[in-house]
Amino acid sequence: MLNGFKDYLLDLGKSENTATAYLRDAKLFMAWCRDSFGDEPKLLHRANVLEYISYMRNVRGYHPKTVNHHLSSLRSLNEYLITNGRQTETAVLDSDFMKIQIQYASPCTVEKKDVEAFRQRLLESGSKRDFCIVTLYAYSGIRRSECVNLKLSQIDLTAKEICIVGKGDKHRLVYLNDKTVHAIREYLKVRDSDSPYLFVSRQSGKLNPSRINQIFNQYSDVITPKTLRHYFCSNALESGYSIHEVANQAGHSNVQTTLIYSNPTAKEMKDKANRL
């Protein structure tokens, strides 16, 4: 049932990471079917979907967001099977998704002093590449996949801008501050590779995404690539960017995603609660 599912998602414009995640969720569903019924179904049956929802909620205790993520994957699988004429039944309905109260607090959990201290540790490590990576994260808001796939041809340091290819192969122009331009220039002075990709390693002409996580984990127990993406959005709004400008820079397809960064952080809300 899963043959061709990933290609279908990629053809729809889903990113490689998204398609891989959807396929993984579908395989987990199939594994549950094997454990529960002794075999994999040839079609996506509504009854099985409802039982799987109950399993995720009551047996595994998944968070509502996790349940909805799995359902999104199964809905895409359902649409794939219908599109290919392999079934007609709609097995996943909108009403199956769990209602979640939208988070109010800003997801940003670090302050500027924390980010600058983190950058300083990377600077003192002596690795101009690693310092360049964290600086780019902190002041451009790029995603991990966008970072490792960034090519030299996409960078214009004179104009202080880079062309990012984001989710769904969407292109956007991201403007760089002086800190980021200087960090890239210093890295390029010591970069010894003919690879078209900006970030390389001694073993490869393209940096592995897992290596970025290792770099962050080596110098901080708190700051992650996603942490710096949250920081960029929050810091940009505080620095005078409009909601739409931040949405464009960060590649948010919906400005509602960006709006949450205009709210106070959880820490600020807790401080206010203590003053009651």
Enumerate the domain spans of the chain.
5-96, 112-272
Range of weakest confidence among 36-45, 55-64, 212-221, 267-276: 267-276
Q: Looking at residue 58, what is its pLDDT?
A: 92
Residue 71 near residue 64, CB atoms below 8 Å: no
Identify the residue with better confidence: 252 or 71.
Answer: 71
Looking at every residue in the chain, the average pLDDT score rounds to 89
Q: What residue ranges in 122-258 does DSSP mark as E strands?
A: 155-156, 161-165, 171-175
Q: For 24-73, what is each residue's pLDDT tens digit?
A: 999 999 999 999 999 999 999 999 999 999 999 999 999 888 999 999 99
pLDDT at 264 over 70: no
Please list the helix, strand and coil fractions of the chain in percent, rounded to the nearest 5, in that order.
Answer: 60, 5, 35
Yes or no: domain 5-96 corresponds to CATH 1.10.150.130: yes
Name the fold adopted by 112-272. hpI Integrase; Chain A (1.10.443)
Q: Looking at residue 22, what is its pLDDT?
A: 95
pLDDT at 181 over 80: yes
Q: Looking at residue 147, what is its pLDDT?
A: 92
Q: For 62-115, what is each residue's pLDDT tens digit?
A: 988 899 999 999 999 999 999 999 999 999 999 999 886 555 555 667 888 999
> Are 5-96 and 112-272 in the same CATH fold?
no
Q: What is the mean pLDDT of residues 147-153?
A: 93
Structure pTM?
A: 0.67
Give the span between the Cα atoms of 108 and 123, in whole angstroms: 23
